[in-house]
């Protein structure tokens, strides 16, 4: 289990948070605001398990009723959810309480109402509502197209702030974090974002003005778009150098982590959480190893090192890396160059790990057998070039001793 999973819930802090929430209906607007600010301070002290628990209780239904009956303003509602949504995305919490309680619908209505206001439109409130909705919801594809266009444009406007003071950086980080939660099923016209996103990434590469979470988030948003627009491949790989950037960020984050120390709160967990988000981004991009010769080699080496470093203390992170490599090898069966990497050695190490990780280990074992079968099969429909590559791959496989290992696994399976 990871250090986060091992940590017990802070019952005292959670109890205090819930008791404050129960008092909200009895307070006026100013008192509610003060109480919510205190609750946000409590969230700042929570770890992932604490926040996950808080989001599973019935507070959302109570807030739902308060807003519906005009007992909580839109400003106080955004104050309540903006900080919570930030940590929900940071910790990769997949809780659906926000949507189940109809709060998603309420926020949509508040966004529509503020967007259509002709006079005295509160742009700051509108941005905050958008950030709250996109960071809290699991159903980010439910907006009409014109509202999505407005959300993307508005958040990218915030993200283009160049000031490097802490307050400006946090505003940019919140905007890009919310933007990153627009999932790959949401079609966003390239004209709405590509120039702006490219500028944000290139400016950061030159000036390092973004936080690490903000930089990861803008890549995640761009990667989500790749699923429906393959033309972005050239921009991501060759113009913006995704492999190089992801490697550098993961190496820098890894230097900030004491793997042996149990991480007590979100500040200590943050670097690990951002690394997990990077692995998700890398995994979710439909980029295949065989199409990236020379482009991702250093990133692959970095991931292997990170997997080994995190194996004992952050197994969720190392398992995510192993699963990513599984998919890449399945997709690259006729590309022998992947056998030259340390990936297969990593699979062997995984198989030899504790039996507590039976699922991952069995997948690694099955992958070895898959590679062997794939290399041995005589595929008649393959051309001369493909057969030559396959023959070379099989020779490489045997040369590195993997065939003997596979035969021993097969022998063990017959017993």
List, in order, residues 6 or more apart from 49 with CB less than 8 Å away.
Answer: 4, 5, 7, 8, 9
CA-based Rg of the chain, rounded to a whole angstrom?
A: 24
Structure confidence by residue, pLDDT tens digits, 93-109 = 998 889 888 898 999 99
- Identify which of 260, 186, 259, 266 has the alpha carbon closest to the alpha carbon of residue 229: 186
Q: How far apart are CA 112 and CA 148, in angstroms?
A: 11
Q: Which two tokens stand for residue 63?
A: 């807030």
The CA distances from residue 360 to 221, 232, 258, 392, 414, in Å, are: 29, 32, 25, 29, 21
- Identify which of 191, 173, 207 has the alpha carbon closest to the alpha carbon of residue 90: 173
Reported pTM: 0.88
> Residues in the chain, how many?
415
pLDDT at 215 over 90: yes
Q: How far apart are CA 339 and CA 405, in angstroms?
A: 14
pLDDT for the residue numbered 389? 61
- What backbone phi and psi angles, to 5 degrees, belong to 240? -100, -5
Structure confidence by residue, pLDDT tens digits, 40-91 = 999 998 988 899 999 887 788 889 999 999 999 999 999 999 999 999 999 9
- Which residue has better confidence, 413 or 270? 270
Structure confidence by residue, pLDDT tens digits, 128-164 = 999 999 999 987 776 777 788 889 999 999 999 988 8
State mean pLDDT over 222-237.
89
Crossing angle of helices 166-180/74-90, nearest 10°? 80
- Identify which of 78, 57, 52, 56 has the alpha carbon closest to the alpha carbon of residue 67: 78
């Amino acid at each position: 289990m990871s250090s986060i999973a091992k940590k017990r819930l802070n019952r005292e802090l959670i109890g205090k948070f819930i008791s404050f929430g129960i008092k909200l209906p009895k307070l006026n607007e100013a008192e509610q605001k003060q109480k919510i600010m205190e609750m946000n301070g409590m969230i700042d002290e929570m770890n992932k398990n604490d926040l996950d628990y808080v989001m599973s209780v019935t507070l959302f239904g109570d807030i739902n009723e308060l807003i519906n009956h005009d007992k909580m303003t839109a400003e106080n509602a955004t104050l309540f959810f903006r900080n919570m949504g930030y940590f929900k995305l940071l910790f990769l919490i997949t809780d659906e309480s926000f949507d189940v309680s109809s709060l998603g619908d309420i926020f949509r209505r508040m966004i529509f109402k503020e967007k259509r206001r002709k006079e005295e439109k509160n742009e700051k409130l509108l941005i905050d509502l958008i950030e709250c909705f996109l960071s809290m919801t699991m159903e980010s594809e439910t907006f009409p197209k014109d509202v999505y266009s407005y959300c993307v444009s508005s958040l990218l406007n915030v993200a283009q702030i160049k000031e490097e003071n802490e307050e400006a950086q946090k505003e940019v980080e919140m905007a890009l974090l919310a933007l990153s939660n627009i999932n790959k099923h949401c079609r966003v016209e390239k004209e709405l974002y590509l120039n702006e996103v490219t500028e944000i990434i290139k400016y950061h590469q030159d000036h390092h003005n973004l936080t690490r979470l903000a930089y990861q988030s803008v890549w995640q948003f761009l990667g989500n778009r790749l699923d429906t627009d393959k033309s972005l491949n050239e921009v991501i790989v060759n113009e913006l150098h995704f492999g190089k950037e992801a490697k550098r960020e993961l190496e820098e984050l890894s230097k900030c982590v004491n793997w042996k120390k149990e991480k007590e709160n979100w500040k200590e967990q943050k670097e690990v959480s951002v690394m997990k988000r990077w692995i998700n981004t890398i995994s979710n991009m439909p980029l295949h190893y065989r199409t990236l010769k020379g482009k991702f080699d250093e990133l692959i080496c970095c991931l292997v090192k990170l997997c080994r470093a995190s194996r004992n203390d952050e197994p969720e992170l190392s398992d995510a890396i192993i699963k990513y490599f599984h998919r890449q090898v399945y997709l690259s069966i006729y590309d022998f160059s992947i056998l030259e990497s340390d990936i297969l050695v990593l699979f062997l190490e995984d198989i030899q790990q504790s039996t507590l990780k039976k699922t991952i280990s069995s997948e690694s074992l099955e992958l070895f057998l898959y590679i062997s079968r794939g290399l041995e099969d005589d595929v008649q429909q393959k051309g001369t070039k493909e057969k030559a590559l396959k023959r070379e791959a099989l020779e490489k496989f045997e040369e590195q001793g993997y065939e003997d290992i596979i035969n021993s696994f097969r022998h063990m399976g017959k017993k």
